[in-house]
Structure 1
Amino acid sequence: MTLATFVQTLGRGPGRSRSLTRDEAAAAMKIMLGPDAAPEAVGALLMLLRMKGETAEEIAGFAQAAQATMPHIPKADLDWPSYAAGRTRGAPWFLFSARMVADAGHRVLLHGWNGTDHKIRDGLSQAGIGIAASLDAAETLLAREGIAYLPLEHMHPALFALLRLREVLGLRSCINTVCRMLNPARASASVQGVFHPSYRLLQADAAQLLGWQNLTVIKGGGGEFERHPAKDIAAFGVRTGALWEGSFHALIDDTRRLAEPTAAYDLMQPSVFDEQIISGTAAAALATLGMADAEDTARRLWPARKPRDAA
């Protein structure tokens, strides 16, 4: 079978085309990740899906097949994908939130690729998060530090190549969503940020199809899982395997934007507002892990995690 079969299914025209089933999507992804996929067919398939709009069944099938081709990664408690392109990215305060969750005793695996935006990878060391250059290095970091960042190009080179087709096609494809749904360490909980609100339900539905237990998706800062502390934030996902909707209440009274992309910032000198971003985002992640007193725990952990120069 070639990708042409799936291109025909998606592109026959009004009244004749249809979405892929989950099994068809898994089969298509297996071909796309292999060495013999015709590049023209890969581009056609991805752009037809973009025009149509992906379904939860398609995303679940793609993610299932992509995960199945990966080597073993040690199990983590919390999956934290980071794939926003950075067009509205301010300071990556959520990295400190992830570090705090690890400080609370939960193994956290971050993974991602952010295009030409270097803020996130540049900020990892300041947040106390090591970058794993291999799967073995990720295992070592998780065992020693309780947290690791695994770049997509090291974690899944074939999927990375599909993601980078954005540079050729000029448009985002569903591969960005598939990466968010990869959950490489088979964590029982995941936190995800999106830029477009419609993807919150799509990813929640796909997670349920995949049998995930706990997931929180929010419209976050720059498309990352980062909570605005001065707004009530709508949240979607799953809890103990069932679809779930909830919210995170405002923590402070302020009218400023979450991030000013062109503004200067110092990750070692967070403002009071920035500290609320950090502790509020950590609280949302801890709540996803099932912690009942998540906000109190986050408020207690932040002073200990605060960058030394900001103390």
Structure 2
Amino acid sequence: MIKTAIQTVSQQQNLTFEEAAQVISEIMTGQAEEIQIAALLTALTAKGETADEIAGAAQAMRQAALEFPKQPAGLDIVGTGGDHSNSFNISSTAGLVIASLGYDVVKHGNRAASSKSGAADVLEALGFPINQEVDQAEQMLKDNHFTFLFAQKYHQAMKYVAPVRRGLGIRTIFNVLGPLANPAEPKQMVLGVYDGALLEPMAQVLHQLGVQSANILYGTDGLDEASISAPTKLVQLRGDNIQFQTITPEEFGLKRATKEEIVGGTAQENAAITRAILSGEERGAKRDIVVLNAAIGLNAVNPTITIKEGVKLAQEALDDGRVADLLATLTAAEAVE
């Protein structure tokens, strides 16, 4: 199949959902040579991937993953990365806020690829047990409404692709597949993208993957999160319907800041930022951008909550210590192991 796929894509023709799934499945089961993988990924990048190709590839990645009990009521909140903003770990912190309000957050992520600190890095620095076994991760979700699925653990078949990606050194389809490959397959999602041109295609991809409610975001200052320093383009997927809107911090009572005010650093530095937000020590732009993104997550997991109402709920959860208490509970599990 991969030889046929290379020929098709190199002629600027698109693969179907089924063809993309089949060829990525071949790669993930070690049936393709590295030179073939490199040729396919390069040709796809040169052509530009379609929604069908991304969705089919993501489906194959999910099927190749270590199995985790499906969590249809759950939410994942994640960015594609690649925005070069050097921001702190906004979505990981927002995920804790959402979970503290009683909604199941199944965070799927990895170590940093294009920044100094990925989700796995900052959670580890916070003391969270990122390498839990499947049953432990599932129990943590049941007990605390939050868990983390470490991509390196759940997607071991990526070993066939990793050397090729390193050798190519260019953006490939796998840059956008990571956020789509959550083995728990939650039906609710917040997905930040690094390019506004990805908003509608990614909404189509999520729909094909069975996601029921999603908010897809692009900060117009180049952020793969809802921005506190510029308008944010928002695509809302609800069932079969897709709606487009642009939002600003001010319409939710938040003060506009500069992009420099949300810059982070290493995993340890970003963990310190998260702790400062949770303790109430940080009450400026960093807190506000977490509140805004948490509100958008609340709206995705429960569309009866407006973003404005979500902002108020997130602020209350931070102010009354619920989020800090949740983090203390989650990190206590590390001490026990």
TM-score after normalising by structure 2 = 0.80
Contact kept in structure 1, 2:193 and 2:225, CA below 8 Å: no
The whole-number CA distance in structure 1 between the counterparts of 2:126 and 2:243 is: 31
Which whole-Å CA distance do the structure 1 matches of 2:229 and 2:114 have between them?
29
- Is 2:310 the partner of 1:294? yes
Q: Summarize the Cα distance change of 1:262–1:102 in structure 2 as closer, same or farther, 3 Å threshold.
A: closer
Match of 1:106 in 2: 103
Count of paired positions = 303
Return the alpha-carbon distance in structure 2 between the equivalents of residues 189 and 301 of structure 1. 21
Distance 1:141 1:222, change over 3 A: farther
Q: Does structure 1 conserve the Cα–Cα contact (< 8 Å) formed by 2:37 and 2:164?
A: no
More helix per residue: 1 or 2?
2
One-letter amino acid matched to 1:283: A
SS in structure 2 at match of 1:212: coil
Q: 1:24 aligns with which of 15, 19, 22?
A: 19
1:95 to 74, 92, 113: 92
Residue pairs, 1:194-233, within 5 angstroms: 194-220=193-219, 226-233=225-232
The residue correspondences of 1:238-249 to structure 2 (distance < 5 A) are 238-249=237-248
Give the AA of the match of 2:293.
Answer: T
Q: Using the TM superposition, give the Cα deviation of residue 69 of structure 1 relative to its aligned residue in structure 2, in angstroms.
A: 2.4
For residue 165 of structure 1, give the secondary structure of its aligned residue in structure 2.
Answer: helix
User: Contact 1:219 / 1:225 at 8 angstroms: preserved in 2?
Assistant: yes
Q: CA–CA distance in 2 between the matches of 1:7 and 1:193?
A: 30
Q: Which moved more, 1:59-68 or 1:74-83?
A: 74-83
Per-residue deviation, 1:130? 4.1
| SS of aligned partner of 2:182 | coil
Tell me, in whole angstroms, the C-alpha distance in 1 between the residues paired with 2:304 and 2:139. Answer: 26
Q: 1:230 to 1:88 in 2, by over 3 A?
A: closer
Q: Which stretch of structure 1 is more off in the superposition, 188-197 or 296-305?
A: 296-305
For 1:46, give the aligned amino acid: L
Cα shift readout 1:148-207 (whole Å, capped 9, x = no counterpart): 222211011113642563311111210121222223212110111111211122211111
Q: Give the one of 42, 47, 68 matched to 1:47.
A: 42
Structure 1 position 294, deviation (Å) = 1.8
Aligned AA (2:69): P
2:263 maps to which residue? 260
- Given the superposition, is the C-alpha separation of residues 283 and 9 from structure 1 closer, same or farther in structure 2, using an over 3 Å criterion? same
Within the candidate set 282, 299, 306, 2:294 is matched to: 282
CA contact (8 A) 1:10 1:18 kept: yes
Structure 1 residue 133: deviation in Å?
3.7
Secondary structure of the structure 2 residue equivalent to 1:154: helix
How much does 1:101 deviate?
0.6
Amino acid at match of 2:38: G
Alignment match, 1:172: 171
Residues 112 and 150 in structure 1, CA contact (< 8 A), matched pair in contact too: yes
Aligned identity (percent) is 23
**Shift of the alpha carbon at 1:93?**
3.2
CA separation of 1:130 and 1:149: change in aligned 2, threshold 3 A: same
Tell me if the contact between 1:78 and 1:190 (Cα under 8 Å) persists in the aligned partners.
Answer: yes
**Aligned letter for 1:272?**
G
Aligned to 1:72: 67
Query: What residue in structure 2 maps to residue 119 of structure 1?
Result: 117
The amino acid across from 2:180 in the alignment is: M
Distance 1:160 1:101 in 2: 33
> Which region of structure 1 is more displaced relative to structure 2, 297-306 or 35-44?
297-306
| Closer/same/farther in 2, CA of residues 97 and 28 from structure 1, 3 Å limit | same
CA deviation profile, 1:210-257 (whole Å, cap 9, x unmatched): 332111111259987532234331111411232222343314333411
Contact 1:6 1:20 in 2 (8 A): yes
**Runs of 4+, deviation exceeding 6 Å:** 221-224, 262-265
- The answer to whether residue 28 in structure 2 is matched with residue 8 in structure 1 is no
Q: Which amino acid aligns with 1:298?
A: A
Retained in 1: the 8 A contact 2:80–2:194?
no
Q: So what's the TM-score if we normalise by structure 1?
A: 0.86
The answer to whether the Cα contact below 8 Å between 2:5 and 2:15 also exists between their aligned partners in 1 is yes
Q: Which residue of 2 aligns with 1:58?
A: 53
Q: Distance in 1 between matches of 2:164 and 2:223?
A: 21
Q: Contact 1:81–1:180 at 8 Å: present in 2 too?
A: yes
Residue 293 of structure 2 aligns to a residue whose secondary structure is: helix
The CA distance in 1 between the partners of 2:295 and 2:84, in whole Å, is 26
Show structure 1 runs of 5+ residues with no match. Answer: none
- Range with greater deviation from structure 2 (219-228 or 274-283): 219-228
Name the CA distance, whole Å, in 2 between partners of 1:49 and 1:242.
28
For structure 2, which runs of at least 5 residues remain unmatched after alignment? Answer: 277-281, 326-337
> Higher mean Cα deviation, 55-64 or 179-188?
179-188
> What CA distance in whole angstroms lies between the structure 2 residues aligned with 1:255 and 1:246?
21
Q: Tell me the equivalent position of 2:81.
A: 84
- 1:44 to 1:237, Cα distance in 2 relative to 1, 3 A: farther
